[in-house]
Homo-oligomer: A and B are copies of this chain.
Amino acid sequence: MAPFLVDWRKLWRGDALGVVQPTTTAEVAALLRWAHETATPVTPQGGNTGLSGGSVPGPGDAGLVLSLARMNRIRAVDPVNNTITVDAGCLLAKVQGEAEAAGRFFPLSLAAEGSCTIGGNLATNAGGTGVLRYGNARDLCLGLEVVTARGEIWDGLRGLRKDNTGYDLRDLFIGSEGTLGVITGAVLKLHPAPAARVAAFAAVATPHQALGLLQLAQNRLGPALTGFELISSLCLQLVLRHVPGARPALEAEAPWCVLIEVTDLLDEARALDALEDVLGRALEDGLVSDAAIAASIAQTKAFWALRENVSEAQGAEGKTVKHDVSVPISSIGGFLDGALAALARLHPDVRPVVFGHLGDGNIHFNVSPAAGDAGESLLARQGPINRIVHDLVAAHGGSISAEHGLGVLRRDEAEHYKTPIEMGLMRAIKRALDPIGIMNPGKLLRLEPPARP
């Protein structure tokens, strides 16, 4: 059972009576009926790659881990409707591959795609690098099959773009982190497969200039703009230091870089022209000091690898305090100025490792210890550092968990920032759909509100 009881980052270890691995929706329903009758807690688990501790049971739990790993069939592909219907336990990479085999494109993409499951992606409303153009997991899902906390099968596997026949149950289960029911199947949206994706690196002096470049790119490229990632200079230094074969995209080091990607459905030359046009204007306007456009598909991949390896490279520099936050895009500059200044003032030894999906307003504001420090003292300050960053996020009307969900990591922090009215609505829904509280207990919210002073 061991691998099912500890999360991917090895931060949370729990206990369980056993692990069950059903192969059909009917088996899941039978299991949940039994769990409901016997008040047995159930922790649904996909690829167990989550970053917030939502997919493992708690210490001392006497329940079951419900692994969806054996439910991994592709149920149907409909290229005319642009949909694919899958079991929840399918790996994300398998869904991407099946779409490609049908001449289509499934745009959800994230670092864990080789080991995470689509059910987990939906239960946590996963984000990733394709959100700017194609939306998050929620936006890519048309229908769900769910086994409720009472063991009933809700067949909402509809492949429809429009359906206004009552409450939006689909979006209620998406992002509910297994606390309301178990997603067992889904109908997902496919897109036409684009012929060309071209990436560039651009050097900017500040996040404010990056924002100016984003405005320019959005106004001139519209939906052809498919990636816009912000990367601080330290991120790149760490990748170049720790990732074998990594090479810089730009000759001179810059305080901040932007990875920008343009996609064209039919024509690589058109994508290149559009990218050159935008970067040319940005250089002229002084928004950008240097830029390099990838000369090949291999180089576009290498550019993306620089961005995607930041987290791993950071891991080689000691313990990490992570923040997965979002603010309105117009507040990105102000938020980063404030957070970097506060950290420099109050914790001058630590090193911010800042990167993220600027086009979505989503920043991974991570913190590493000083060079050579393993980070134990940093971890001891995790609470106060979280509070500095999250208070600023809240002041800018932002979110303390943009794409990673709450799990146990951010459960109480979310309660701290949300109003009692919002928490009351969430608890009313939890009680309505899972009256005895067997579904993934302790995740996303506590069943009872904490006493307030």
Residues of chain A touching chain B, judged by Cβ–Cβ distance below 8 Å, are 78, 80-83, 124-125, 127, 131, 136, 138-139, 148, 152-156, 158-169, 171-172, 174-176, 180, 191-192, 194, 211, 215, 218-223, 265-266, 326-331, 357, 360-362, 397-406, 410, 414, 418-419, 421-422, 424-426, 428-433, 444-445
- Chain B residues near A211 (CB-CB < 8 A): 80
Contact check, A154 vs B360: say whether CB atoms are below 8 A apart.
no
- Chain B residues near A138 (CB-CB < 8 A): 168
Contact check, A397 vs B158: say whether CB atoms are below 8 A apart.
yes
Docked Cα-Cα span, A78 to B81, in Å, equals 36
- Chain B residues near A429 (CB-CB < 8 A): 167, 172, 429, 432-433
- Chain B residues near A136 (CB-CB < 8 A): 162
Docked Cα-Cα span, A254 to B161, in Å, equals 28
Shortest Cβ gap from A279 to chain B (Å)? 16
Contact check, A425 vs B154: say whether CB atoms are below 8 A apart.
yes
Shortest Cβ gap from A334 to chain B (Å)? 11
Contact check, A159 vs B400: say whether CB atoms are below 8 A apart.
no
Contact check, B153 vs A421: say whether CB atoms are below 8 A apart.
yes
Contact check, B162 vs A399: say whether CB atoms are below 8 A apart.
yes
Contact check, A425 vs B433: say whether CB atoms are below 8 A apart.
yes
Contact check, A81 vs B330: say whether CB atoms are below 8 A apart.
yes
Contact check, A82 vs B329: say whether CB atoms are below 8 A apart.
yes
Contact A426:B361 (CB < 8 A) given known A161-B326, A265-B222 = no
Q: When the two chains form the complex, which single residue of B164, B219, B362, B414 contacts A175, counting CB atoms closer than 8 Å?
A: B164
New A-B contacts (19) at CB < 8 Å, excluding given A131-B162, A163-B399, A432-B432: A78-B328, A82-B329, A131-B161, A136-B162, A154-B421, A160-B397, A162-B360, A164-B401, A165-B401, A165-B406, A165-B414, A166-B418, A166-B444, A168-B175, A168-B176, A192-B218, A220-B265, A429-B429, A429-B433
- Chain B residues near A329 (CB-CB < 8 A): 80-82, 161
- Chain B residues near A180 (CB-CB < 8 A): 167
Q: When the two chains form the complex, which single residue of B220, B330, B357, B425 contacts A266, counting CB atoms closer than 8 Å?
A: B220
- Chain B residues near A153 (CB-CB < 8 A): 421
Docked Cα-Cα span, A425 to B168, in Å, equals 11
Which of A138, A153, A172 has the largest number of chain B CB atoms within 10 A?
A172
Q: When the two chains form the complex, which single residue of B158, B362, B410 contacts A161, counting CB atoms closer than 8 Å?
A: B362
Contact A160:B428 (CB < 8 A) given known A153-B421, A192-B218, A265-B220 = no
Closest B residue to A264 by beta carbon equals B222
Closest B residue to A211 by beta carbon equals B80
Contact check, B405 vs A159: say whether CB atoms are below 8 A apart.
no
- Chain B residues near A397 (CB-CB < 8 A): 158-160
Contact check, A326 vs B160: say whether CB atoms are below 8 A apart.
yes
Which of A82, A156, A166, A406 has the largest number of chain B CB atoms within 10 A?
A166
- Chain B residues near A362 (CB-CB < 8 A): 161-162
Contact check, A418 vs B165: say whether CB atoms are below 8 A apart.
yes
Shortest Cβ gap from A85 to chain B (Å)? 11
Shortest Cβ gap from A274 to chain B (Å)? 10
Closest B residue to A432 by beta carbon equals B432
